[in-house]
């Protein structure tokens, strides 16, 4: 296989800034590109000056049935990839590896009734894709999304998440969604303030959402800050939840972000 067979050259079709350091972008999608909601793509940005390409993994935020691919990113100060990426604009090229990756997918689980998706920061992205998967809405009785950010403007995609009940396609399922917002560094009415790990340990998260964590019912996905993922994983395994492994489905699936 030559290098060119490994990737396709796509075009940026839209950039949406959320804050100074947080943005989403859309790109064209090769007709042959396949992924399961929850997976990530490998994106490449060419540096013509140094004749190199920098590659990074990015969770796909868009639906498997969308014609485009969408991603949600932070600008890492001094980061080789995101600082370059954040300068890209509509019409610029971006490379996409033909293969998709990752195991943060619902097919990792034993059958369950409640799907918990716990995200910090840009770790929200894979859950947006999963939330656009009709099968997920059909399969689970409750979809529980927890989005933790530092400040209110970082509550990206809030309108989209709250808008499922107004959507022509999802409205019939929308009553299944429970959405908790956590804003840790400033008081925001209607949101929780403590870290998700503290809220999990104290039981406040379950109380707030009106759903109990339960091994028979709950399937839990964690995505975002590596310490949050590790600490939550520990808390949950101490409560008897098991990580899903290849060929051995359990209750927990995790993806760390950097
Ligand atoms: P973040 O530090 O991940 O914070 C997002 C949310 O997660 C906040 O509510 C935060 O609470 C919470 N959180 C952080 N650590 C936690 C833990 N151990 N347990 C429970 N909750 C926790 O913020 P971010 O803005 O998404 O990213 C932070 C930095 O990480 C960025 O400045 C960026 O440089 C880097 N980053 C890099 C990449 C990459 O791909 N290289 C991707 C994402 C982020 P608190 O307010 O209490 O901390």
Could you read off the pLDDT of 23-58 as tens digits, one per residue?
A: 999 999 999 999 999 999 999 999 888 888 999 999
For residue range 166-198, what is the model confidence (pLDDT) as tens digits? 999 999 999 999 999 999 999 999 999 999 999
- Predicted local distance difference test score (pLDDT) of residue 151: 98
Span(s) in the chain for CATH 3.40.50.80: 106-254
**In ligand 1, which atom is closest to the CA atom of 197?**
20
- pTM, 2 dp: 0.95
Give the residues surrounding ligand 1 with Cβ less than 6 Å away: 74, 76, 120-122, 148-150, 182, 184-185, 195-197, 224-225, 227-228, 231, 257-258
pLDDT given at position 230: 96
Question: Are 32 and 7 spatial neighbours (Cβ–Cβ below 8 Å)?
Answer: no
What mean pLDDT value characterizes the chain? 94
User: Which class is domain 106-254?
Assistant: alpha beta
Residue 196: the pLDDT is 98
- pLDDT tier at 65, thresholds 50, 70, 90: very high
Q: Where in the chain is the domain with CATH 2.40.30.10?
A: 3-97
List pLDDT tens digits, range 215-233: 999 999 999 999 999 999 9
CA 258–ligand 1 middle distance (angstroms): 10
CATH number for the domain running over 3-97: 2.40.30.10
Q: Express as a percent the part of the chain with pLDDT over 90.
A: 84
């Amino acid at each position: 296989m030559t290098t060119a067979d490994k990737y396709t050259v796509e075009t940026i079709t839209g950039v949406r800034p959320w804050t100074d350091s947080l943005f989403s972008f859309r790109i064209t999608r090769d007709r042959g590109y396949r992924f399961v909601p929850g997976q990530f793509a490998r994106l490449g940005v060419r540096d013509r000056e140094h004749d190199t390409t920098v590659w990074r993994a990015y969770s796909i935020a868009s639906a498997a049935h969308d014609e485009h691919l969408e991603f949600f990113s932070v600008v890492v100060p001094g980061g080789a990839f995101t600082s370059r990426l954040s300068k890209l604009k509509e019409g610029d090229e971006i490379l996409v590896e033909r293969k998709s990756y990752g195991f943060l997918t619902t097919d990792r689980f034993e059958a369950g009734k409640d799907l918990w998706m716990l995200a910090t920061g840009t770790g929200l992205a894979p859950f947006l894709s999963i939330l656009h998967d009709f099968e997920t809405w059909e399969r689970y009785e409750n979809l529980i999304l927890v989005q933790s950010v530092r400040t209110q403007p970082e509550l990206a995609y809030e309108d989209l998440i709250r808008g499922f009940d107004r959507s022509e396609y999802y409205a019939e399922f929308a009553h299944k969604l429970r959405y908790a917002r956590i804003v840790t560094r400033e008081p925001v009415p209607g949101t929780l303030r403590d870290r998700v790990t503290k809220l999990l340990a104290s039981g406040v998260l379950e109380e707030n959402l009106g759903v109990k964590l339960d091994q028979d019912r709950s399937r839990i996905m964690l995505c975002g800050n590596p310490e949050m993922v590790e600490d939550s994983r520990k808390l949950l395994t101490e409560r008897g939840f098991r990580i899903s492994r290849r060929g051995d489905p359990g209750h927990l699936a995790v993806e760390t972000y950097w």
